[in-house]
Homo-oligomer: A and B are copies of this chain.
Amino acid sequence: MATYKDIRDETGLSLATISKFYNGGNVLPANARAIEAAAERLSFRPNAFARNLRSRRTRSVGVLLPDLTSDFHLSILAGIERRLRDHRVSMLICADHPHEEGLDEAVEFLAARMVDGIIAVPTERATPGLRNVAAQGMPIVTMDWPADGVVADEVVIDNEEAAAMAIQHLADHGHRRIALLGSDLAATLRSRERGVRRQLAARGIPVREEYISRTPMTVAAGRAAMQRMLLLEERPTAVFCTNNMLGVGALTALAESGLKVPDEMSFVGFDMPLLARMTSPSLAMVAQRVDLIAREAADLMLRRLEPEVAQSPQRKVVLHAEFLFGGSVADIRS
């Protein structure tokens, strides 16, 4: 691996001049050409670590996700990567899974890599670590939900509003017996439940607690919850799942039960864009704009990396979800 010294030996220029060339400073055209030619011959590439060491910036950011199996979270990666790379910033990916003893926890792992900042969908496990590095001045951007007590820029959606859209759509089609598959294990899902309750009240639809399920956000839990709903004396006519995993579970249970969607059960999902269009019937759902989330999160981070804004007050970007119409909702107005 060639270094500045090799280029110096080839060109006779000083290290300072070569450095200046690679940092966009003014260098005589002839010297610039000489450096380029030597670099080409030696297939030279400036060592990013050495640069970083002195400049104390790595031009890399960590992206921390609860795990790497949620296609919703994974789909945000694409947008972040693109945006960051346009600015020559690299992206270290880290899942926040529990791990064997003695291994660095995710945030520490990233911090030891000297990332310039962390974009995170924060878990409870990661929060103390984030609080810690944030206090030491590392820029943090949270997505999806905020991290308790962490100084950070935030990108969120209006979850109450998003959930209300689903209820509104169902109510407009005559549904009054609406099951909710949700969870109280995440602030976002609690907000969505609030939105559901508020919109039901606004439409004069009584809230029936047996129609409301709170479980872990897994496919298995969603499947079991749906199965329980199907056993109710007075079966709901529609189900709204406030999370993609729960939605997949509910669809699985419905498929197994042989009930026809939407004739015997209407369905509205949340964040299942890939699925939405390829099932028959197509699925109605509330969808976050992952492209916008990614873009806003990356931009907030890139902004923080500018020395001038490093200290400016935190920002919070609130995005709106969209409603995708689909064939999975029956019109049951008589």
Contacts and interface: CB of A to CB of B under 8 A. Distances in A.
A109 to B, nearest CB: 7
A201 interface: no
Contact of A114 (B49, B92, B99, B277): B49
A81 B68 contact: yes
A296 B280 CA distance: 37
A159 B1 CA distance: 38
B71 A88 contact: no
A78 interface: yes
Contact of A94 (B81, B97, B275, B281): B81
A251 B277 CA distance: 9
Contacts of A18: none
A114 B48 contact: yes
Contact of A255 (B45, B104, B282): B282
Interface string A43-57: 101111110110000
A78 B95 contact: yes
Interface in A137-194: none
Contacts of A261: 280
A-side interface mostly: mixed
Contacts of A92: 60, 90-93
Which of A75, A90, A279 is most buried by chain B, counting CB atoms within 10 A of its CB?
A: A90
Nearest to A274: B71
A36 to B, nearest CB: 14
Contact of A74 (B47, B77, B109): B77
Interface string A221-251: 0000000000000000000000000001001
Nearest to A249: B278
A96 to B, nearest CB: 11
- Classify chain A's interface size: 35 or more
A88 B103 contact: yes
A53 B49 contact: yes
A100 B85 CA distance: 10
A285 to B, nearest CB: 13
A132 interface: yes
Contact of A99 (B58, B67, B86, B100): B86
A248 B278 contact: yes
Interface in A261-319: 261, 274-275, 277-282
A334 interface: no
User: Which of A104, A274, A278: most chain B Cβ within 10 A?
Assistant: A278
A85 B58 CA distance: 20
A320 to B, nearest CB: 23
A322 interface: no
A90 B109 CA distance: 8
Given A71-B274, A93-B91, A46 B254 contact: no
Contact of A136 (B43, B50, B274, B277): B43
Which 6 pairs of residues, A with B, have the shortest CB-CB distance? A255-B280, A68-B78, A49-B49, A74-B74, A251-B278, A49-B52
